[in-house]
Amino acid sequence: GLEKKILVIPGDGIGQEVTAWGQKVLMTIAKNYHHTFTFEEGVMGHVAIEATGDPLPHETLQKARNSDAILFGAIGHAKYDNDPTLKVRPEQGLLKIRKELGLYANLRPIKLFDELLEASSIKPEILRGADILFFRELTGDVYFGEKMRTADRNTASDLMIYHRYEVERIARKAYDAARTRRKKLCSVDKANVLEASRLWREVLQEVAKEYPDVETEHMFIDNAAMQLIKDPKRFDVVVTGNLFGDILTDEASQIAGSMGMLASASVGDSIGFYEPIHGSAHDIAGKGIANPLASILSAALMLDISFGLKTESQRVIKAVEATLRQGFRTMDIANKHTVNDCIMGTDAMGAKVLENLN
């Protein structure tokens, strides 16, 4: 068996409730497959600001560097959303850890479980067979460019900036993945308006030459936001910048039925970082109704990508599938049109997945 150190950072809001289940799944897998996973916990976000004044305390960062992989929950709190003038903000913790750990590639697989075909607002015949892998660049773009606010507070700016090497490395990762899939890559930018996008497109055109077996398409972000809903099956691998990736993958959650189903892996220099795509959802936090499947599927991604445990990862995905097949649903994926589904809370749903793992 493998020995691995995992740092768990539940973060804010429903992060607390759902991450517990991602961790339990990892513990069950370790037991069943004779691996030794040791867990530490770290604080980040609003909870860390409350406890230490810092959204990413030095101690958490240290623990992160000493771990083999990180399971993260969510970040954000209504207090900061309602007051844009606050200087110290939860999201700074997440952005800083992404940068410090060199997590430049955020993989977001969008795939619909057959059982959820009716849960989406999109027609089943449009969705059936859709299977997209997003590569979102995660440590550059307008997220990390210089921010400015004039002394009179009347002008504010953020620099959207990309360097060639940043585009090159994410492009290669995306092309490598496309090779193992349906060999189609769509790069999304706004090259008709933005200089950063024109650099993006130039680099993609260059890297494309190294992958003549992969079919490349360039699409403007506005068109991509439309095509994703109009015809999701036309996409295989999509590669895009930090901001456009943020927007498109949230939108794409409707392809998977619900945001509560989507996991992501952030990788780069060394350590992998795994988190649901959903946020802290403070409107439902503490109510015990959040969907734990995105955290559980994030754990599955960790097993596969960071630990190379493909069998174990597939086992988790099968357990999620089985749970859905048995008709168990959290509120967000309940089908309003059938009476057969059994709607349950976070813990009951998590427990069903654990049962199906055994």
Which residues, numbered 113-172, are part of the site for a copy of itself (CB under 8 A)? 121-123, 126, 142-143, 145, 147-149, 153-165
* Annotation marks residue 80 as catalytic: no
* Catalytic member of 31, 81, 176, 222: 222
Total residues at the site for a copy of itself (CB under 8 A)? 67
Residue 107 belongs to what H/E stretch?
A: strand 105-111
Q: Rule CB under 6 A: say whether 192 interacts with ligand IPM.
A: yes
Q: Cα 209 to chain center, whole Å?
A: 29
3-state secondary structure (DSSP) of residue 130:
coil
Q: Rule CB under 8 A: say whether 250 interacts with a copy of itself.
A: yes
Q: Rule CB under 6 A: say whether 75 interacts with ligand IPM.
A: yes
8 Å CB contact between 39 and 96 = no
**Which tokens go with 331?**
């509120």
Cβ proximity to a copy of itself: between 247 and 343 the closer is 247
Tell me the HSE value of 270 on the side-chain side, using a 13 A CA sphere: 7
**Which tokens go with 293?**
């499947």
Q: Rule CB under 6 A: say whether 251 interacts with ligand IPM.
A: no
**For residues 33 and 28, what is the distance between their CA atoms, to the nearest angstrom?**
8
108 is in an annotated binding site: yes
* Catalytic member of 141, 236, 246, 341: 246
Torsions phi, psi of 37, nearest 5? -105, 125
Cβ proximity to a copy of itself: between 241 and 268 the closer is 241
**Which tokens go with 319?**
């357990």
3-state secondary structure (DSSP) of residue 219:
strand
Contact residues for ligand IPM, defined by CB under 6 A = 75-76, 91, 94, 192-193, 222, 246, 279
Residues that bind a copy of itself (CB under 8 A): 76, 80-81, 84-85, 89-91, 95, 121-123, 126, 142-143, 145, 147-149, 153-165, 190-199, 201-202, 205, 218, 221-223, 225-226, 228-231, 243-244, 246-251, 253-254, 259, 279
